[in-house]
Amino acid sequence: MKTTSTLIKSSLLAILFLFALNLQAEDDFLGLFCPDDEYVDCDDEIWDLSIYGNAYYKSYSGTYDAGPPSVSYYLNSCNQGTIVRTWSVYLYGQNLTCSQTIYVQGDGGFSPNNINWPPKHVDVAGCNPETDPYQLTDGVPTWNNAGCSMLGSSYRDSYFHISGTCDKILREWTVIDWCTYDPWNNPYQGKYKYLQTIKISVDDIPYVVCPDDIYVDAYNCSDAYVDAEPLTLDASSCGSGFSVFNNSPYADSNRNDISGTYPVGETWVTYTIKYGCGLKEFCKIKVVVKEGKAPTPYCYAEMTMPLMGIDNDGDGINDEGMAEVWAKDLDKGSYAHCDNGPVTYSFSPDPTDDVRIFTCDHLGENEVEMWVTDKKGNQSYCLVILDIQNNGARISPCERLVEEEEEEQYPDSTAMYTVEGLVADAFGTAIPEIEISMAQATEDVEIITRIDTSIVFVSDTIVRSDGSILIRYWEEEVISEIHDTIYHSTPETKITDGVGVFTFAEMAAGGNTYKLGAEIDPQEYAEVDLDDVDVLFDHLIGKTPFTEPYQYVAADVDGDGEATFLDMRHMLRYITGRIDAYPIEVGSVLLDGTMEFEDPSKVISEGCPDYIMLEAISNDQLDLSFIVVQLGELTGQITEGARREISTFRSQNLWDKWLSHETAVEFIDLDENRSSYSAVNLNLAPNPFTTFTNLLIEADDDQQATLSIYNLEGREINNHRVSISKGQNQYEIDLNNHPQGMYMYRLVIGQKIYQGKLIKR
């Protein structure tokens, strides 16, 4: 009993002890205790979490560290969210746990000041310098204190061609913080832009040889056209040309050609040669326009002058004679122009040669020149037949001194030759019923005879017995017969036959120069269609360059001397009925078909006359030709469908219908190594479009490409580097800041070119 009683007592004491212990634990907060929850910013420390406290537990025997917790991160890509720290301990037969939650929030304080942008202005030089930002020093933006931001950068280049030795790139950088950027609700927050200019220059100093001063004569008292040679310079080491400008207010162009109508006087002209980017060389010349209209000479055609006898030995017989003639005596009313009178008279260009003595050596007819000089030094002359006579003086002997003269050799004027040729269009189609004229083919001579009466003084010398000499003067009426010869050039005309051939038979040689011309209708316009536009387009993009001179002439519909995208625009406007004539205001031009050009493109710059000159022909001329070029006509044919299409265009003015014509992608492969062929499929959607379109690219591997956009003038308005990934790619072409119309795009991938038309409505 004693033992049982003892056990019961012990159990009761234990129960009482545990009950008392629980009461004491509640009183003393015995158990596991976690630190309080924390709220931190995204750029605070979130990896070493011990700074936010540690858990501990209390037992009957004391307070102890709960040890390391298990940590769970619930953060997004911007390092925002929660972090949960959990502790567990085993105490008095129980598993006790507690947790601390750390709330990570805020924008991290990132701003544009944290971005290290590339230099604002970058200069690179050379023929093909590197402009890839990843190859340039400090070429891409970097940043610091990113905090909980998620940053990315991109760039877009716009290329500007300044001159042959200067280009500029406007590079727009964009840095986006994807943690704060919301393109739908707040598109401006977290998006940072930066503009950078890259200047590409060729700094070769041009070698300039300044032209000589120019002197020309004005024949209208006020001005004269100065036809100057253009200032040409050797190309730079990179093969590009230099830009040349002039400051002449009278030049037709402000470029390297100062030709134009200049007033009388001196004009100083400065050439400015631009090279590199902003560098210049200068050269200055003087253009002098002198009043060059010569005075009008008007003299007697013939004049008779008697000799005055001189008796040297006193035998009463004149054995010598002389006549003093002043040049002014031959004048019949000469006059100056431009208020440059009075005039002076002489027998030669020397104004002091104004008097001459004639003797028996000059007996008979003498052809003399009467020169007229105005106060500006301008001169002209006319011919006078001066008949020296030995009438009343009865000089004996009195004979003319005869000098031997070489006979001038003339070509055989009796030879007769045939001139024959063909008139055809640029494609070899003969053109009948064209009138051909041959100037100087015949020469009519008109001789006008008139009688002129003049009074001359005649003298006679008498020797008296006392040795004195008596000179007697009297007036004598001289009647002269004057002959004036007038030459008329009468052109002969022929009409081309049914096969376009013209023939001039039995044309006299005789050293004559013949000028052949053809009468065409310059207002006859070709029925140009879209095929002609495509031929010009292929030439401009380098796919199929022109090979014939006529193509360059036909394509230059605005008459600016070159074939450009602007000419293509004029052709489109003509086809679609927006204009009724080309800017050059003619539809057809005539060319000398016998001209040959090593470089067909030089036909415009070097010029091709619309006539044929034949100088001193000595044999038959049977292979002459004229070419009639109709502007805009580049294919030589037009289908009935195209005729109907043109009719529809002009009747309904369906501009949009053409703009959608052949907008498909065109592919040019310049790579002969077919084993390296890589397939790429392109499409544009939408096209036409209003603001932007998408370039859809499907490739079978990763590639780099360059996308260029051109306007109708051929100017590159955008240039972008495009990274193409294997599979589907989409690239946006944004023309929101450009006017409506047609544009060309070109995507270059290695040796492959994809190109086509973009239509912005």
The DSSP-derived string for 624-663 is: EEEEEEETT--SS---HHHHHHHHHHHHH--HHHHHTTT-
Both 228 and 278 in one domain: the answer is yes
- DSSP H or E run through 510: none
The tally of domains found in the chain comes to 6
pLDDT band at 674 (very low <50, low <70, confident <90, very high): very low
Distance of CA 187 to the CA centre of its chain: 42
Question: Last residue of a domain, which of 84, 105, 126?
Answer: 105
Amino acid 671: pLDDT: 46
- Token pair in block for residue 355: 């008097």
Cis peptide bond N-terminal to 583, omega within 30? no
Calculate mean pLDDT across residues 298-325: 83
Both 273 and 315 in one domain: the answer is no
Question: Last residue of a domain, which of 628, 656, 684?
Answer: 656
- 393: pLDDT strictly greater than 70: no
Q: Compute how many other C-beta atoms are within 10 angstroms of the C-beta atom of residue 462.
A: 11
Tens of pLDDT, residue by residue over 264-300, are 999 999 999 988 888 899 999 999 998 878 888 989 8
pLDDT band at 214 (very low <50, low <70, confident <90, very high): very high
CATH number for the domain harbouring residue 691: 2.60.40.2550
Both 192 and 267 in one domain: the answer is no
CA distances from 23 to 27, 29, 64, 96, 265 (A): 6, 10, 20, 18, 125
Amino acid 482: pLDDT: 52
Quote the domain boundaries for residue 346: 304-389
Cis peptide bond N-terminal to 522, omega within 30? no
Amino acid 42: pLDDT: 80
> Which of 226-235, 248-257, 564-573 is least confident?
564-573
Residue at 149: amino acid letter? S
Tell me if 14 is assigned to some domain: yes
pLDDT band at 25 (very low <50, low <70, confident <90, very high): very low
Question: Last residue of a domain, which of 105, 123, 147?
Answer: 105
- Per the CB < 8 A criterion, the answer to whether 586 and 525 are in contact is no
Cis peptide bond N-terminal to 397, omega within 30? yes
Both 96 and 189 in one domain: the answer is no
Both 719 and 753 in one domain: the answer is yes
- 178: pLDDT strictly greater than 80: yes
The DSSP secondary structure of 664-708, one letter per residue, reads: S-EEEE----GGG---EEEEEESSSBSSEEEEEEEESS-EEEEEE
Higher pLDDT, 175 or 682: 175
- Per the CB < 8 A criterion, the answer to whether 389 and 365 are in contact is no
Residue at 722: amino acid letter? V
- DSSP H or E run through 481: strand 469-495
Higher pLDDT, 440 or 254: 254
Tell me if 499 is assigned to some domain: no
Tell me if 497 is assigned to some domain: no
Report the C-alpha gap between 167 and 201 in whole angstroms.
6
Interior angle at CA 75, CA 72 and CA 76, nearest 5: 150
Calculate mean pLDDT across residues 18-36: 65
Both 641 and 565 in one domain: the answer is yes
Tell me if 16 is assigned to some domain: yes
Report the C-alpha gap between 111 and 145 in whole angstroms.
9
**DSSP structure class, residue 156:** E
- DSSP H or E run through 140: none
Both 284 and 308 in one domain: the answer is no
Both 270 and 377 in one domain: the answer is no
Report the C-alpha gap between 294 and 420 in whole angstroms.
41
Both 219 and 330 in one domain: the answer is no
CATH number for the domain harbouring residue 269: 2.60.40
Strand order in the sheet with 38-41: 38-41, 94-105, 81-91, 70-75
**DSSP structure class, residue 400:** P
- 713: pLDDT strictly greater than 70: no
Both 243 and 342 in one domain: the answer is no
- Per the CB < 8 A criterion, the answer to whether 228 and 214 are in contact is yes
* pLDDT over 90 percentage in the chain: 23
Both 647 and 685 in one domain: the answer is no
Tell the residue number behind the tokens 């009950």, with chain if given: 19
Q: Compute how many other C-beta atoms are within 10 angstroms of the C-beta atom of residue 317.
A: 13
**DSSP structure class, residue 736:** T
